[in-house]
Structure 1
Amino acid sequence: MVRLFALALLITLLPCLAAETVRIGAEDDWYPYSGTLQGKPVGFAADLVRAAYKQVGVDVELVSLPYARCMKLTEQNLLDGCFDTLRNSLLEKRYRWHKQPLFKGRIDIYARTDHPDKVIRLPDLRGRLIAVTNGYDYGTPFDSDTAMHRDIGNSDLFALRKLVARRVDYALVYDRIANHIGRTQPSLKGRYKSVGTLIEPDIYVSFAPKKTGVERYIRLFDEGLEKLHQTGEYARIEARWR
């Protein structure tokens, strides 16, 4: 009788003992940080988010989405979070944030390979036509400067294609993404180069502003990310995506 009671109690508790799941949007066109391969989210950021939550016993459902839609669904509390976000004053009050950055990126200024060997800085971009990607943030100094003439496209790949085709003067792209595109797109290989660095921002997961339970998911994410650093797992994941 005791055994039967214990078995019945265990069956009742099984749903509670099962690992909970957090649902997070993963940018689908930002490889090697975050992209889609055979319909599944992959990349440095995707691996970090999965690993951080695994450290604290939480399963992750990653949903591949274009970045702008990912952010919109998160703001509407239809997703628990979205990555990869450059945190700034425009987004600060619209989302919730974890403490430690997911990773540090670097946005470089790209020109064609026939560009003079001269370092280009933010003031040099004024009055030039610059390829950028829709929905991306490039830091307050650039984003708030009305003297910047932006050619807005759907992806970093399009930005670099426009650059090589001489439709724009410069393109702003994260360095790892530009390197990946240069390796995998034969028509662009060796046809552009970095001529300067715009910013080196911290990148975050944006969390939903009012979704039920999100405060706990943020706390657990911070805890899991800290464990990744302490155990050396963070460095091992990063090394796989260099």
Structure 2
Amino acid sequence: MVLIHLIFAALMFTSVSAASAETILLNGEDDWAPYSSATKDYKDLQGLAPDIIRAAFKSQGITVVFRPMPFTRCMKEVDLGRSLGCFDTLINAETQDRYLFHPTPLFKAEMYIYGKINSKPVTLIDLEGKKVGVTMGYTYPTSFIENKKILREVGPTEKSQMQKLASGRIDYAILWGLTGEKILKDNPNLMSKVKAVGKVSRDSLYINFSKKHKDGAKYAAIFEKGLKTIIENGTYKKIEADFQKSLN
């Protein structure tokens, strides 16, 4: 009889656990290696951001399924409330009132100015009056987007900015540092023509949760709790360490 009760209790526990398990869907940038990029079969995401997000939600008993897509579409679906959230996003003058954000940053990254191989060091002020490549739909620091004297040349990808820079179609390009380094490493022909010539800023990146989605606020709060949990228990530090190893 005792054995029967134990088996019944175990089955009940399994049933409750299965019933309480959650799976959510998030949009993610498909072409921003090494931070976030689509796998070869385009069915999942890989990189620092999805690793952190998976771990944070897992700590709260939630499984995340990622949908890779171009960043412009990623943001548009969140704007319309069709998707719960998109990553990775800056909080700036254009986004701060448009989305729901978790207080603790997902991670921090550095943004650089790239120029021709013979260029001298420059700052944002030096870009005034120059044609500067930016990527369609990407978020940039307020100091950059509010300087109307900088002539922006919009392109589909960060790699396309490098290509236009190398061919002389633009004067400079703004790229995230590790992404720029990877593009140059993977394309020796560009490395001989383009280099980083200045630093724009070091910025915090976030998941932007939808204000129009019924669960936006709920999962923004859950993610914040999960992010704090993995920071406190050491999981976050291990993910960072593994990420740094993968860059070598």
TM-score, normalisation: structure 2:
0.88
3-state SS of paired residue (2:178): helix
Alignment partner, residue 232 of structure 1: 234
| Distance across 1 between alignment mates of 2:69 and 2:18 | 30
Give ranges in structure 2 of 5+ residues lacking alignment: none
**1:66-125: per-residue Cα shift (whole Å, max 9, x none)?**
111111111222111100101112212221110101011111011111113xx3111100
Quick check: 1:194 aligned with 2:201?
Answer: no
Displacement after TM superposition at 1:241 (Å)? 2.4
For the aligned residue pairs, the C-alpha RMSD in angstroms reads: 2.1
Task: Count matched residues.
Answer: 237
Alignment partner, residue 35 of structure 1: 37
Displacement after TM superposition at 1:16 (Å)? 6.3
Q: Is the 8 A contact 2:211 2:217 kept in 1?
A: no
Q: Is the 8 A contact 1:121 1:198 kept in 2?
A: yes
Alignment partner, residue 63 of structure 1: 67
3-state SS of paired residue (1:73): helix
3-state SS of paired residue (2:190): coil
Alignment partner, residue 123 of structure 1: 125
Give ranges in structure 1 of 5+ residues lacking alignment: none
In the TM superposition, structure 1's runs of 4+ consecutive aligned residues that sit over 3 Å from their partners are 9-16
Alignment partner, residue 154 of structure 1: 156
Aligned match for 2:78, one of 71, 74, 87: 74
Amino acid of the structure 2 residue aligned with 1:155: T
Identity %: 33
Aligned match for 1:112, one of 91, 116, 123: 116
Per the alignment, do residues 215 and 94 of structure 1 end up closer, same or farther by CA in structure 2, a change over 3 Å counting? same
Displacement after TM superposition at 1:190 (Å)? 3.6
Aligned match for 1:53, one of 45, 57, 62: 57
Amino acid of the structure 2 residue aligned with 1:216: K
| Distance across 2 between alignment mates of 1:123 and 1:156 | 22
Q: Is the 8 A contact 1:138 1:199 kept in 2?
A: no
Alignment partner, residue 137 of structure 1: 139
Amino acid of the structure 1 residue aligned with 2:102: H
| Distance across 2 between alignment mates of 1:238 and 1:170 | 30
Alignment partner, residue 93 of structure 1: 97
Alignment partner, residue 166 of structure 1: 168
Displacement after TM superposition at 1:12 (Å)? 11
Per the alignment, do residues 59 and 173 of structure 1 end up closer, same or farther by CA in structure 2, a change over 3 Å counting? same
Amino acid of the structure 2 residue aligned with 1:122: L
Displacement after TM superposition at 1:148 (Å)? 0.9
Per the alignment, do residues 165 and 226 of structure 1 end up closer, same or farther by CA in structure 2, a change over 3 Å counting? same
**1:170-225: per-residue Cα shift (whole Å, max 9, x none)?**
11000000011111123213432111111211111000103223322112111111
Displacement after TM superposition at 1:18 (Å)? 4.2
3-state SS of paired residue (2:188): coil
| Distance across 2 between alignment mates of 1:190 and 1:201 | 28
TM-score, normalisation: structure 1:
0.91
Displacement after TM superposition at 1:145 (Å)? 1.7
